[in-house]
Amino acid sequence: MEDTRGSLDLGPDTDRLRIQMLGGFSICRQGEPIKLERTNRTKPMHALQILLYGGPQGVPSEVLMEELFGEENVADPANNLKVTISNLRKSLRQAGLSEEMKVEYRCGSYILVFTAPVWLDIQEFSNLVDQTNESEDQRLEKLLRAESLYEGDFLPHLNEFDWVLVASSFYREKYFSCLHQLAEILEKRKEWNRLLPIAARAASRYHLEEWQCLCIDCLIEMGQISSAWEAYRRIKSQVRKDSDSSGALLEKRLQRLQKLDKSEQNPGRMFEFLQDTTEESHPYYCSYASFVDLYRISCRVMPSRTKLSYLLIYSFSDNHGEQIRNMLQIQQMTQAMEYAINGNLGCRDVYTRYGKEFFLLLLIDATYQECVKMDRRIRQDYKSYGIPNILLRCTISKVGSESLNAVANHRWEKIAGVG
């Protein structure tokens, strides 16, 4: 759904309605929340949030019907839409908002009309980030205000809907742009104490290696080496589980810390880093880069071993074999696969993730029949999560097999989005 919002009055006056859509949904007046319905996921509340995002140009009734009832088997969606709008008007009236927010129907579209100035966080946020042709001090002030406004993803309680996912991605990228601009200015000014909490908030919201490593950089520049080491160890355990992290940025921070801190350069510290801190009963998870090294080492030692090792590649797709883009589904299938893998692989086995849709497993000293049985158990445990409309596929290849590339390219080309 296209963003067609016009300009709203966005002044700081607390007497006017304040509407939040980043990190959640709320309507407040003078700091007091206004409750319309029991949850923000009812049909009338969903319609209200669509209309708010649609702006003064409104939303065509056909679009509203599709967004509200498209996935449901509704006999008369047009009548259902009328009932939903009627219930929304009733909720606004009961909440004392009917004089300030009116739902009108004009030329085939529903429009949310405001009779008094309204403050909307998404528009204020966008205006602050997009400011140009100002002094650095003015830019910094507005970027700091924008960063403070960003409470999280756009309408996270509705993240199974495509229009929300598109909008959420849009505002997330604006947030990252805001962070990059802030980092550029504050790093140049060496104001690390101001940059650190900003980086920490970003890292807590999105476990991306970039923001986590920025926290380490700030601590190093502030001379807090011990805290930097603590942050490194904590972040390393998080990066291990992060499908979007290669570990390369964190490795550079490790090298930097080792150069700065002479106390780390002794045999005791060296053995501390070599020690495996994972639970012995669980398979070993590593970054994709480390997995590649382990696979290549396995290829070299294979001729000297009596038993073989196998590579299992799992991939997800929708029922049409296409890439999955729904973030809620991705989170669910990831959780299900983590559960299935950790419940079945042995402590000598290794696994990793590649992107959001691939799991790679390295089974050490196994037979092909054992791999097939393992695959069945993993599938069974995965299915116990009951995630609909997702296909799980698996390819089993002997480590060192010359046909690996051919098999991978043939089986996964469409899913990986290649070609």
More confident residue, 301 or 419: 301
In degrees and rounded to multiples of 5, residue 19 shows phi and psi of -115, 125
Distance from first CA to last CA of the chain, Å, rounded? 28
SS3 content of the chain, % helix, strand, coil (to 5): 55, 15, 30
The reported pLDDT for the residue numbered 263 is 54
More confident residue, 243 or 316: 316
Q: Residue 4 pLDDT > 50, yes or no?
A: no
Give me the mean pLDDT over the 385-401 stretch.
82
Which of 82-96, 236-250, 335-349, 386-400 is predicted with the least confidence, judged by mean pLDDT? 236-250
- pLDDT tens readout for residues 291-343: 888 888 888 876 656 578 899 999 888 877 788 877 667 877 888 888 899 88
Q: Residue 230 pLDDT > 70, yes or no?
A: yes
What's the mean per-residue pLDDT of the chain? 83
Q: Which helix (H) or strand (E) holds 258?
A: helix 248-260
> What CA–CA distances, in Å, run from 75 to 65, 81, 113, 172, 236?
12, 12, 30, 37, 53
More confident residue, 242 or 40: 40
Give me the mean pLDDT over the 264-269 stretch.
55
Q: Residue 386 pLDDT > 90, yes or no?
A: no
Amino acid identity, position 337 = M
Which of 138-152, 221-235, 250-264, 269-283 is predicted with the least confidence, judged by mean pLDDT? 269-283
- pLDDT tens readout for residues 42-81: 999 999 999 999 999 999 999 999 999 987 888 899 999 9
Per DSSP, the chain holds a count of helices (H) and strands (E) of 15, 12
Q: Residue 241 pLDDT > 60, yes or no?
A: no
Which of 57-66, 138-147, 255-264, 358-367 is predicted with the least confidence, judged by mean pLDDT? 255-264
Q: Which domains does the chain have, with CATH numbers?
A: 17-121 (1.10.10.10), 123-274 (1.25.40.10), 284-416 (3.30.70.270)
The reported pLDDT for the residue numbered 417 is 33
Give me the mean pLDDT over the 111-138 stretch.
91
- Between strands 59-60 and 109-114, the pairing is antiparallel
Q: At what angle do helices 192-205 and 162-188 cross, to 10 degrees?
A: 160
Alpha-carbon torsion (40, 43, 45, 46), positive or negative:
positive
In degrees and rounded to multiples of 5, residue 380 shows phi and psi of -65, -45
Q: How confident is the model at residue 156 (pLDDT cuts 50, 70, 90)?
A: very high
Q: How confident is the model at residue 392 (pLDDT cuts 50, 70, 90)?
A: confident
The reported pLDDT for the residue numbered 407 is 44
Give me the mean pLDDT over the 408-417 stretch.
40
Strands (E) located in 68-213: 101-106, 109-114, 118-120
The reported pLDDT for the residue numbered 201 is 95
Alpha-carbon torsion (416, 169, 26, 107), positive or negative:
negative
Whether 359 contacts 337, CB under 8 Å: yes
Query: Whose CA is closest to 37, among 47, 51, 50, 23?
Result: 47
Which of 139-148, 239-248, 361-370 is predicted with the least confidence, judged by mean pLDDT? 239-248
Residues 228-264 as b or e (16 or more Cβ within 10 Å = b)? bbebbeebbeebbebbebebebbeebbebbeeeeeeb
Query: Whose CA is closest to 119, among 164, 24, 52, 166?
Result: 52
The reported pLDDT for the residue numbered 270 is 54
Whether 4 contacts 55, CB under 8 Å: yes
d(CA 331, CA 306) in angstroms, rounded, equals 39
d(CA 234, CA 3) in angstroms, rounded, equals 39
| Tokens read off for 67 | 């967004």
Whether 319 contacts 395, CB under 8 Å: no
| HSE-up (13 A, CA, CB side) for residue 163 | 19
The reported pLDDT for the residue numbered 377 is 93
The reported pLDDT for the residue numbered 305 is 60
Give the distance from CA 37 to its chain's centroid. Answer: 28
pTM, entire model: 0.69
Q: How confident is the model at residue 225 (pLDDT cuts 50, 70, 90)?
A: confident
